[in-house]
Amino acid sequence: MVLQILLVISIILQLIAAGTAIKLMRETKYNFSWILFTVALTAMSLLRFGEYIQMVGSKELRLPPDFFVWIGVLTSLCFAVGVFYVRKIFTYINRLDIQRRLTERRILSTVLRTEEKERLRFSKELHDGLGPLLSSAKMSLSALSLDGADDKNREIVSNLDYVIDEAIRSLKEISNNLSPHVLNDFGLARAVSNFISRSMTLDAMKVNFETNLRSERFNTDVEVILYRVLCELINNSIKHSGGSRIGISLQYDGRRLTIDYSDNGRGFRPEAVLDTGMGLSNITSRVQSLKGTSTITSAPGEGMKAHIEINLHEEPWKKRK
């Protein structure tokens, strides 16, 4: 009796499994494998049904032994071919995944390129549009004759001269921040040195910047992205670390560009600041868009370290002449 109940349960379970396999047909490509599994599971439930009849039926109802052999062969065949097709499903999913990552990287690098193009355009507009106007205002002011002017007027003119100088200075700074012309003209190492000397004027931090780059030039994307990444790391150390030393090493070995960055500040737990700001996540996505790797390690009280590597050999990041 127990055996009969178990057989009935097993028939029901196999039919449910067959039904589930039919449903999966709609969800995946290569649904042929699911058809085969459905057939195999139904055949298995037929086998169980045959066994049940053997158990409860009278002598006349006995099924021929061939029935069990053929159904067994059909089940094995369906499972074997089905498994082969399931392997194809995994290959297909892997291919989709690679394609998705490639598309994501393409979108990211297009966004970054567009952003840099817009920055360059703003910077040029400011520099070439507003710059000459301010210079001409300054020239007109210096041509103004102050003979016979009283002290009050002299003070106003001197004030105006100072304001125009300040406006010219901050215009240059804004334009340079938007798109650093040193990067375009002299490359990564000079631009980073330049940024360090501009950022450190008021700060008590010491920066040790070492590089073996001389006049080598790389693809604009590589230079702009690594420049922005280093600027963000330096800004973070100034803003958040409270430390006194920053070490930067930028090395090129003919194949790879490697950055090793560290500060001796208060450190932080990287997993705890995931949604604090955009800086660190931008570093990761910018480096990813170059197919590079970035690792940021830090712990409270232990400063922070960042290691970034871009393989220039693998990608079309050719050197600029």
Q: Which residues bind Mg ion (CB under 5 A)?
A: 236, 277, 279
Residue 230 near residue 282 (C-beta atoms within 8 A): no
User: 220 vs 285, which CB is nearer to ligand ATP?
Assistant: 285
Task: Give the residue nearest to ligand ATP (CB).
Answer: 277
Return the HEC string of the chain.
CHHHHHHHHHHHHHHHHHHHHHHHHHHCCCCHHHHHHHHHHHHHHHHHHHHHHHHHCCHHHCCCHHHHHHHHHHHHHHHHHHHHHHHHHHHHHHHHHHHHHHHHHHHHHHHHHHHHHHHHHHHHHHHHHHHHHHHHHHHHHHHCCCCCCCHHHHHHHHHHHHHHHHHHHHHHHHHHHHCCHHHHHHCHHHHHHHHHHHHCCCCCCEEEEEECCCCCCCCHHHHHHHHHHHHHHHHHHHHHHCCCEEEEEEEECCCEEEEEEEECCCCCCHHHCCCCCCHHHHHHHHHHHCCCEEEEEECCCCCEEEEEEEECCCCCCCCCC
Q: Does 268 bind ligand ATP (CB under 6 A)?
A: yes
User: 158 vs 276, which CB is nearer to Mg ion?
Assistant: 276
Q: Give least dist CB 297 to Mg ion, A.
A: 17
User: 129 vs 277, which CB is nearer to Mg ion?
Assistant: 277
User: 282 vs 311, which CB is nearer to ligand ATP?
Assistant: 282
Q: Of 317, 308, 209, whose CA–CA distance to 255 is shortest?
A: 317
Q: Give least dist CB 262 to ligand ATP, A.
A: 9
CA distance 103 to 97: 10
User: 189 vs 304, which CB is nearer to ligand ATP?
Assistant: 304
> Which distant-in-sequence residues (6+ apart) come within 8 Å of 214 by Cβ?
189
Residue 303 near residue 264 (C-beta atoms within 8 A): yes
Task: Give the residue nearest to Mg ion (CB).
Answer: 279
User: 45 vs 236, which CB is nearer to Mg ion?
Assistant: 236
Residue with tokens 């053929």: 70
Give which of ligand ATP, Mg ion, none residue 237 binds (C-beta under 5 to 8 Å, depending on kind): ligand ATP
Binding string, residues 155-194; x marks residues near ligand ATP by CB under 6 A: ----------------------------------------
Q: Which tokens hold the place of 271?
A: 């997993």
Question: Total residues contacting ligand ATP (rule CB under 6 A)?
Answer: 17
Contacting residue, 99, 153, 184, 276, with ligand ATP by CB under 6 A: 276
Q: Give least dist CB 299 to ligand ATP, A.
A: 10
CA distance 259 to 164: 40
Q: Give least dist CB 284 to ligand ATP, A.
A: 10
CA distance 306 to 311: 17
Binding string, residues 294-313; x marks residues near ligand ATP by CB under 6 A: ----------x---------
Q: Give least dist CB 127 to Mg ion, A.
A: 26
Q: Does 277 bind ligand ATP (CB under 6 A)?
A: yes
Q: Does 228 bind ligand ATP (CB under 6 A)?
A: no
Which part of the chain contacts ligand ATP (CB under 6 A), choosing from 14-22, 69-77, 112-120, 232-240?
Answer: 232-240
Considering only residues 238 through 257, tell me which ones interact with ligand ATP, judged by CB under 6 A. 239-241
User: 197 vs 276, which CB is nearer to ligand ATP?
Assistant: 276
Which part of the chain contacts ligand ATP (CB under 6 A), choosing from 106-114, 130-138, 250-258, 260-268?
Answer: 260-268
Residues at the interface with ligand ATP (CB under 6 A): 236-237, 239-241, 263, 265-268, 273, 276-280, 304
